Amino acid sequence: MSQVPDFNKISPEAKKDIEELKRRIGDYKTGREDEERFKLYRLTRGVYGQRQFGVQMFRTKIPFGKLTTEQLVAIANAAEKYTNGNLHITTRQNIQMHYVKLDDSPAVWSDLASYNVTAREACGNTVRNITASAKAGIDPNEPFDVSPYAQAAFEYFLRNPICQDMGRKIKPAFSSSEQDSAFTYFHDFGFIPRVRQENGEERRGFKLIVGGGLGAVSIVGHTVYEFLEEEKIIPFMEAAIRVFDRYGEREKRMKARMKYLVQKLGIEEFLRLVEEERKGIKNQEYWIDANAVPTGQPKEEQAIFEATPHNTVRYENWRRTNVFEQKQEGWFGVQVRVYLGNIQAEKARKFAALVQTVAADDIRLTVNQGMLLRFVREDNLPYLFNELEKLGLAEAGFDSIMDITACPGTDTCALGVTNSTGLSGELEKILEQEYPELIDERNIKIKISGCMNSCGQHMAASIGFHGSSIKKRPLVIPAMQVVLGGGVDPQGKGFVAEKVIKVPTKKVPDVVRYLLDEYLEKATEGEYFNDFYYRNGKKYFYDLLKPLAQIDSLEGADFFDWGQDHAYKQEIGVGECAGVTLDVVGTIIQDAFDKVELSKEAYVGKAYADSIYHSYTAFVIGAKALLLSADVKCNTHKGILSDFQTHYINAGKIVFEENFERYVLSMKKQTPSEEFAKQYSTAAKAFVQEVIAIREGQLAETGQEKLVISNYYKA
C-alpha cells in the first residue's frame, strides 16, 4: 500500500505551520533564536527532545484516536522513511515516532498533512489531544455517540488564540457511557454523555468534570454539572481556559496545572470566574452536528472469507476476551492488543490492508495502547483471527490484567528513571505462565510509568508502578514505587491509587505474585480487587510487601535495571513540557509586537474574538517585558496587570488614561464585536509602541540588553 503525499491537499493553515517550523529551525541552527525559546515553540508543533542526543520524538495529534487505513499507512511510511520504523501508540490515543532528525521534522509533517494528520499542539502548553472512549459510536451502553463532540472540540481549540500561551497543558476526555472508560475523572475537562426528556423530546447533554489530573499529586476532578446541555460544553471550556490562562500559576511548573488552580481558588470561585468570562467569549452557544463523524458501517456486500481457526483454544480465548457485539445488531467490534503500543511500519501496512477487507475504514487507537476495529461480520471472525495471528496481533486478554500499559521509560524519554518496557514484558510473561486463569480478569489493571509523571497512567491502576531509586552507598538501586487501588470501578466511579511502598525494580515480579496470591486466597466471592485493597487498608499491604523492600541481601543482577547487563546509573534529563527559559527583554517585546500583528490579521479576517484575545495577550506580554526589566516577578497574567499598574503607571513611568488592569480586562465584559475589536487592537498597538519607546530609553541608559534566566518568561 504505497502512497505519495498529495501536497495540494494540505490546508493553508498546515502549510503555514510547516513553513514556520522550517524557518525557525533555520533560525535556531544559525543562532538567531535561543535554544530554550525555540524549544517552547517546537513542542507546540509536536517535536519533543528524547533521551538520545541529536534526535527528536515526533508526536501526531489524532483526535479521539480515529484513523483511516490511509492515514495509518501514511504514518507508517513516514516512520520508515525518517525514523527507526516504529509507531508507538500512546495512552492519549496518539502515535509517536522516535529518532527523528530535527531537520526532517517539517518533512515528516508535510508527508502526513496531505492525509489530514497534524502535529500542531501535540505537545507543549496547549490543549492536548482530546481523547474519548474507543467504543464511541458502537458502545452498547452509550446514550449517543460522543465522537462528533470530541471532533468539534478538537477543531475549535486547534490554533485558538486562548490556548497558545498557557502556563501548562490542558487535557480533555469524552467517555461513551457512565462506565467512564475514558477516565474522565482525572482530566482537566471530562464529559460523560447523558440524555433527558424535555417537553416530550430527547435532550442531549453531559455530566461535566473539571480539575482532575494524574502526576506526582493526583486529584479526582469535581463534578460541576450533572447535566450541561450539548450546545454549552464548548463555551464552558472556552471560558474556563480563559480563567486558567489568566489566573494559572506559571513560575512553579509543578503547580501550574488547572487542578491546582481549582484547588487554590475553590470550585465555587473558579466557577464564578468562568461565569464572568461568558460575555466576552466567541460563542454563547455552540451547536455540534451529531452526524459529523459517520459510524463507518461497511456496505452490505462485504465479502465473507471462509476460514477455520488455526488454533481453536487460542481462538476461543481471543473471541471471548477481545470481541464484543456492537450496539448495531449483527456487527462486532474487535479489540487488538499491541505489545507496549509498538508496531513496525511494515506490519502496520499489512494490518491496514486487512482492515480494508473485513472491517470499517475506521481504526480507533485505545487508551491502553491497543487498537479497535469496527463493523466486523461474525462470519469473518475466524479469518480475521488467523490473519492477526500471522501479524502477531491475536493475543487474547485485551484490557485485562494480562494487557499491561507502559510508557517508553528510559528507552527514549529524558525524564525516565527506570525501564518500564522491560518490566512490562517480564510481568506479562509471568501472568501468562503462572496465572492463565486471569485472562478474563478485567477489573485488575496493571500500569507502569518510568517516572512519577504518569504517562503510563499508573495512578489509575489497580496495581501501578512508577520509576524511582533507592540509595545503597556507593550504589543507586533502580526501584519502583508501588501504588494500589486506582482506576474505575465496575459502577464507573474513579479512584486515584495510594502510594504503598518502594521496592527494587527486580523485586516487582514478586510484588505482583504476592498481591495476586493474597487476593485469590483471601478475597470474598466476586470481590473487586480495589474493594479488597480498601477493605484491608494500606498498612496491611505495606506489611505484606515489606520483605521485598529489603536491600541488604541484594546482589549481582539485582543492581541492574530491566533490559540492562550492567549496574544501574541514574540519568534523569529535563522534561520539555515546560521548563526554564533563557531570553532577553527585547525578544519578549517582539513577542508582544507579534501578537499585535496577529490581532490585525484576525480583524481583517473578521475573526473579532480572536483579534481581541491576541490584543489582550499583547497587553500582557508588553507589560511583562517592562516588569522583568525592573526585576519584578511575573507568574500570572492577573498579577502582571496589577503589578504594571503599581510599578509603572502609579509610579508615573508611563501614562495610561484609565486603570490599566481594568481596561485590559474590559475584554471579558464586551461582546466580541467589530467595533470593540478595532478599538481594543488600536489601544494594544499604541501600548506596545510605548513599551518599545520606554525600553529604548532604558537601553540608552544601561547600554545592554537584560538577560532573563527564570520561569518568569512563561507568564
Residue 561: its pLDDT value, please? 83
Residue 491 lies in a domain: yes
Residue 184: its pLDDT value, please? 97
As a whole number, the mean pLDDT across the chain is 92
Same domain, 549 and 652: no
Same domain, 684 and 609: yes
Question: Can you list the positions of beta strands (E) in 284-435?
Answer: 323-325, 331-336, 342-344, 363-365, 371-377, 405-406
Output the nine-digit C-alpha cell for 304. Answer: 465473507
Handedness of CA 8, 11, 13, 19 (dihedral sign): negative
Residue predicted with more confidence, 289 or 705: 289
Same domain, 545 and 410: yes
Residue 177 confidence (pLDDT) above 50: yes
Write out pLDDT tens, residues 356-366. 999 999 999 99
Residue 241 lies in a domain: yes
Same domain, 515 and 595: no
Residue 700: its pLDDT value, please? 82
Task: Give me the mean pLDDT over the 179-198 stretch.
Answer: 96
Same domain, 155 and 262: yes
User: How many distinct helices (H) and strands (E) make up the chain?
Assistant: 20, 24
Can you tell me whether residue 151 is helix, strand or coil?
A: helix
Same domain, 498 and 433: yes
Residue 577 pLDDT level (bands cut at 50, 70, 90): low
Which range is least confidently modeled, 62-71, 142-151, 294-303?
A: 294-303
Write out pLDDT tens, residues 267-299. 999 999 999 999 999 999 999 999 999 887 776
Output the nine-digit C-alpha cell for 125. Answer: 502548553
Residue 290 lies in a domain: no
CATH number of the domain that residue 598 is part of: 1.20.120.330
Residue 567: its pLDDT value, please? 65
Same domain, 155 and 206: yes
Same domain, 316 and 269: no
The per-residue DSSP string of 568-585 comes to --------SSS--EEEEH
- Identify whether the C-beta of residue 395 lies closer than 8 Å to the C-beta of residue 369: no
Measured between alpha carbons, how far is 73 from 338 in angstroms, rounded to an integer?
17
Residue 559: its pLDDT value, please? 80
Residue 711: its pLDDT value, please? 47
Same domain, 386 and 419: no
3-state secondary structure labels for all residues of 618-645: HHHHHHHHHHHHCCCCCCCHHHHHHHHH
Angle formed at CA 184 by CA 183 and CA 186, multiple of 5 degrees:
80
Partner residues linked to 369 by β-bridges:
none
Residue 302 confidence (pLDDT) above 90: no
The number of distinct structural domains making up the chain is: 5
CA distances from 274 to 57, 267, 384, 613, 639 (A): 36, 10, 50, 16, 18
Which range is least confidently modeled, 71-75, 123-127, 153-157, 694-698?
A: 694-698
Which of 68-77, 489-498, 547-556, 632-641 ranks highest by mean pLDDT? 68-77
Task: Give me the mean pLDDT over the 7-23 stretch.
Answer: 92
Same domain, 511 and 554: yes
Output the nine-digit C-alpha cell for 603. Answer: 480583524
Residue 570: its pLDDT value, please? 64
CATH number of the domain that residue 169 is part of: 3.30.413.10
Residue predicted with more confidence, 367 or 6: 367
Residue 576 lies in a domain: no
Residue 573: its pLDDT value, please? 53
Write out pLDDT tens, residues 318-328. 999 999 999 99
Residue 481 lies in a domain: yes
Note down the domain range covering 321: 312-391
Residues 6+ apart with CB under 8 A from 694: 626, 653, 654
Write out pLDDT tens, residues 389-428. 999 999 999 999 999 999 988 888 877 788 899 999 999 9
Measured between alpha carbons, how far is 186 from 486 in angstroms, rounded to an integer?
11
Residue 127 lies in a domain: no
- Identify whether the C-beta of residue 240 lies closer than 8 Å to the C-beta of residue 232: no
Rounded percentage of the chain residues whose pLDDT exceeds 90 = 78
Q: Are strands 172-174 and 131-132 parallel, antiparallel or unpaired?
A: parallel
Write out pLDDT tens, residues 650-683. 999 998 888 999 999 999 999 999 999 999 999 9
CATH number of the domain that residue 370 is part of: 3.30.70.3340
Residue 581: its pLDDT value, please? 43
Measured between alpha carbons, how far is 663 from 14 in angstroms, rounded to an integer?
35
Write out pLDDT tens, residues 526-554. 999 999 999 999 999 999 999 999 988 88
Residue 475 pLDDT level (bands cut at 50, 70, 90): confident
Same domain, 420 and 549: yes
Residue 566 lies in a domain: no
Helix (H) or strand (E) holding 434: helix 420-434
Which of 339, 368, 391 is the last residue in one of the domains?
A: 391
- Identify whether the C-beta of residue 677 lies closer than 8 Å to the C-beta of residue 608: yes
Same domain, 196 and 274: yes
Residue 564 confidence (pLDDT) above 60: yes
Half-sphere exposure of residue 567, counting CA atoms within 13 Å on the CB side?
A: 10
Residue 366 lies in a domain: yes
Rounded percentage of the chain residues whose pLDDT exceeds 70 = 94
Residue 639: its pLDDT value, please? 95
Residue 580 confidence (pLDDT) above 50: no
Which range is least confidently modeled, 53-57, 285-289, 597-601?
A: 53-57
Measured between alpha carbons, how far is 484 from 541 in angstroms, rounded to an integer?
9
